Amino acid sequence: MKRVFSGVQPTGQIHLGNYITMKNFVKQQDDKDCLYCVVDMHSITLPQDPEKLKKSTIELAALYMAIGLDPKKVTLFIQSQVPAHAELAWILNCFSYMGELSRMTQFKDKSAGKDIVTTGLFTYPVLMAADILLYDTNFVPVGNDQKQHLELARDIAQRFNNRFGDTFVVPEPMIAKVEEGARIMALDDPTLKMSKSNPNEHSKITLLDSPALIKKSIMRATTDSDSFIKYDLVNKPGVSNLLTIYSQFSGLSIADLEIKYEGQGYGNLKKDLVLVVNDEILKVQNEFNRIIESGEVYEVLKQGRERAQEISSSVLDRVKNKIGFITY
């Protein structure tokens, strides 16, 4: 089976864009060897409250399970519990270049205007490369905004392979099509991607939002001055975003939704969207609460850690042998 690796930071709440991506993970678990990682080490490139980080790490793992990932089919684990991530990251730092790291768009964005910028923020794409390469990963689900980091991982792998012979599997991107929810935009500004870090609570919908907050956010969503409902990313980005979300949650195609709401105003579209979104999210929340209360997430993470350590230690030993480290 081909192997898929993906990691999500446990900072901020999981929003609709994340959720739709994660739902695509569920579709892959029957025919691929899937490893899903809570990447808490990436989180500390920016200051975190320790207790909040612990809580959100467990909550993210529980949400992975609540959306339908089956622990019997996938490997779910916490990054910091597998030491090989940090160890391989250091080795790969020695095969990475300052110039290529300084060109990373997300580093430029996150460091802009900051008085203090940590080296962790600068080098975290190398840690991301280690995350991926540590598991002989064939495919990495990424959005277009993350493709640059995957390209770096590929470059490092090929650079290492060229010097020491075949060592790393060179991963391929798995980029969702737009109609599969690759880009869910902010509700308050549909020209921007929905983001955990947006301070406006109505710019996004998270999986742990109350029904009342979800309703308020959707009803306040930006549309446009026209009154007709049509999918047009250039001229009607707000309405197009709502149609994309509706399609993902209802299973109806965007074309079917255009027909359904022909001649109707945005009010009806938004009201129905509130019902569709709340119905599905409530199911996820109920399952999430059951998983948290039962404590089963801890056993799942323990089993995931054991399998991740087994795979990663083998790959790490392969790398160490190539560069001349003693492994016995």
With vertex at residue 198, the alpha carbon angle to CA 293 and CA 37, rounded to the nearest 5 degrees, is: 45
Residue of 23, 54, 177, 196 marked active site: 196
- Cβ 11 vs Cβ 48: under 8 Å: yes
- Cβ 184 vs Cβ 193: under 8 Å: yes
With vertex at residue 104, the alpha carbon angle to CA 165 and CA 169, rounded to the nearest 5 degrees, is: 25
- Cβ 168 vs Cβ 160: under 8 Å: yes
| 27 carries an active-site annotation | no
- Gap between the Cα atoms of 122 and 257, Å rounded: 44
| 110 carries an active-site annotation | yes
| 72 carries an active-site annotation | no
Residue of 73, 193, 216, 270 marked active site: 193
- CB-count exposure of residue 315 (10 Å: 0-12, 13-18, 19+): buried
- Cβ 43 vs Cβ 276: under 8 Å: no
Tokens of 135: 């598991």
Tokens of 173: 């991107």
Residue of 23, 73, 108, 110 marked active site: 110
DSSP 70-102: -TTTEEEEEGGG-THHHHHHHHHHTT--HHHHH
Report in angstroms the alpha-carbon separations of 75 from 9, 20, 143, 156, 226: 16, 19, 22, 25, 47
The set of catalytic residues is: 110, 193, 196
